[in-house]
Structure 1
């Protein structure tokens, strides 16, 4: 059986806030650790029938980037639910939410 590993390294500042985040994976196209400004990891806890979440971001990630990051996450969830369950309604509802959020973010950016 093939195994794959994904590794995150988080450096913290004196207040225990993420200063830098690096990641690596055995199946990644390029070799070596890469820097990122944010990670969002969701794990299904089968025992408690709930989702465990780890959301980390560095201080240099802008609010605009954070909003874009979460819109992309939601969009990916919509596609994943379609691919895994075939539930078009569920997928389209998530896509519609993403479309509304993109419009909101674009309107915010125009005001600045």
Structure 2
């Protein structure tokens, strides 16, 4: 039996200063195209033991939205880390850091989840 394959495509329109003005994405197993203001893609190179990144955001992305985006990414990374490693203690530490970061960025009130 052959493996199912899917493609995810990002299209980035650049303004005259080479700054992203729009970002859209499409998955081959879904007919819809999505628009977004930011996309951070991280790739692990196991041969080099190195992380490669593509960090994109549009010129219309607000600082407040970027703060929320980072907070939510930290929470997602905590969940992913727990699923990938089974390490609940470190996952909990990551989550606590994400909430402290949210308070410091003033997107969460103290003690708010």
After TM superposition, the score normalised by the length of structure 2 is 0.87
* Residue 21 of structure 2, aligned match among 3, 12, 19: 19
Closer/same/farther in 2, CA of residues 65 and 107 from structure 1, 3 Å limit: closer
| Separation in structure 1 between the aligned mates of residue 68 and residue 15 of structure 2, nearest angstrom | 25
Aligned counterpart, 2:73 = 73
* Deviation of the 1:69 alpha carbon: 0.6
Q: What are the ranges of 5 or more consecutive residues in structure 2 without an aligned counterpart?
A: none
TM-aligned CA distance change 1:76 to 1:108, over 3 Å: closer
1:108 to partner: Cα distance: 9.0
The reply to whether residue 44 of structure 1 matches residue 44 of structure 2 is: yes
Per the TM alignment, residue 93 of structure 1 is displaced from its structure 2 partner at its CA by 1.0
Please give the per-residue CA displacement for 1:68-100, whole angstroms capped at 9, x wherever unaligned: 111111111100111121101110111011110
- Structure 1 vs Structure 2 CA RMSD: 1.7
How many pairs were matched up?
107
Structure 2 counterpart of 1:62: 62
Following superposition, the deviation at residue 5 of structure 1 comes to 0.9
Structure 1 residues 60 and 3: CA distance shift in structure 2, 3 A: same
Runs of 4+ in 1 over 6 A off after TM superposition: none
Separation in 1, partners of 2:21, 2:80? 31
Query: C-alpha distance in 2, partners of 1:72/1:26?
Result: 26
